[in-house]
Amino acid sequence: MRNTLLAAALLGSTALLAASPAQAQVTVYCSALMDWCQLMANAFERQSGIKVTMTQKGSGETLAQIRAEASNPKGDIWWGGTGDPHLQMAEEGLSESYRSPNLEKLHVWAQNQAKQSNYRTVGIYAGALGFAYNTELLAKKKVAAPACWADLLKPAYKDEVQISNPASSGTAYTAIATLVQVMGEDKAFDYLKALHGQVNQYTRSGPAPARNTARGETMIGVMFMHDAVAEAVEGFPVAVQPPCEGTGYEIGSMSLIKGGRNLENAKKWYEFALTPEAQALAVQGKSYQVPSNPATPTPPKAPRLEQMKLINYDFAKYGTSAERKRLIARWEKDVASQPK
């Protein structure tokens, strides 16, 4: 009798465990600043009860990871990072098509990002490319602040410029594509070769030149200006400047990973990320982009796109895999391989 009761108890507890559902989860690849990534994860977990597993990498590295995992996807959704790699992901069939019921509530540029990709990606924020400079270093060396792309070639800035590496950073690829559109391709690469002699480091991530400029490790950085604004808000002696000749911009994006194991939970993250409440977390995460939902207050210190000379950035062309691969290969051959 005792053995029978014990067996029945064990069977009952086993059945109870089998009936208990595993906690819902979602795996997010994040290409925004880590503070912002973590705030988003925490807020989503609180709201949904879904456990978030998150990794943070630059846009170029994340796209490479998604490609490598295509036959056995580990992630469910890619949130943040420059739009060009997201468009390349869509072109290569690595993302799921999904049309949010809240799409029409977003800025036109965010809607256009979705339409261009056949609803495989969507805009979540926008930010313009420009310079950051350390005001204390400039004053100490009695050097004027750069105002134009051409200024970065001045002798006073020799070994004082930082920009990220386009092979790992969507920011740097946007810079190359911008210069090609501003100057024409051959002149742009002549410029990049000349700039090579001014660069003290090609960083792995796009925001790194902002951090290094703010801390006096370099005089000038090239990056999306909102990354440097975040440093200025923290009290560092750094200011920003959009180039006078014209500049490009990013549409930071979000894409569902094709074959992800938690698609429905990823769609819940997708809808959450488009809400004003979620987008307002950017400022707490020390990020100062222009949010894609116009109901989200634009951070007061965010660089104003309407006050810059923005080019008509050709996302359709420069968001393709072939064009990205070709331009980066030319940069590696014609620029990075050259002696300094």
Does residue 5 surpass a pLDDT of 60?
A: no
Does residue 90 contact residue 59 with C-beta atoms inside 8 Å? no
pTM above 0.85, yes or no: no
The mean pLDDT of the chain is 92
Q: How many domains does the chain have?
A: 2
Q: From the DSSP assignment, how many helices (H) and strands (E) are in the chain? A: 15, 10
| CA neighbor of 221 nearest in space, from 248, 244, 198 | 198
Task: Judge whether residue 312 has pLDDT over 60.
Answer: yes
Examine the domain organization and report whether 291 and 279 are in the same domain: yes
**Position 155: which residue type?**
P
In this structure, the answer to whether residues 30 and 112 fall within a common structural domain is yes
What is the CATH number for 267? 3.40.190.10
Q: Are residues 232 and 268 in the same domain?
A: no
Q: What was the pLDDT predicted at 22?
A: 67
Q: SS3 of 285, please? A: coil
Say whether both 211 and 330 belong to one domain.
yes
* Residue 314 within any structural domain of the chain: no
Helix (H) or strand (E) holding 46: helix 34-48
284: confidence class by pLDDT, cuts 50, 70, 90: very high
Percent of the chain whose pLDDT exceeds 70: 94
Reported as a pLDDT band with limits 50, 70 and 90, residue 14 is very low
Are both 117 and 139 inside the same structural domain? no
Phi, psi of 173 (to 5 degrees): -65, -40
Domain of 183, in residue numbers = 128-249+324-336
Does position 88 have pLDDT exceeding 50, yes or no? yes
Q: Whole-angstrom Cα distance, residue 283 to residue 281?
A: 6
- The Cα 331–Cα 321 span in angstroms is 15
Tokens of 117: 């990709």
Residues 245 and 257 in one domain: no
Running DSSP on this structure, what letter comes out for residue 23? P
What's the confidence (pLDDT) of residue 301? Answer: 84
Query: Per-residue confidence at 302, pLDDT binned at 50, 70, 90?
Result: confident
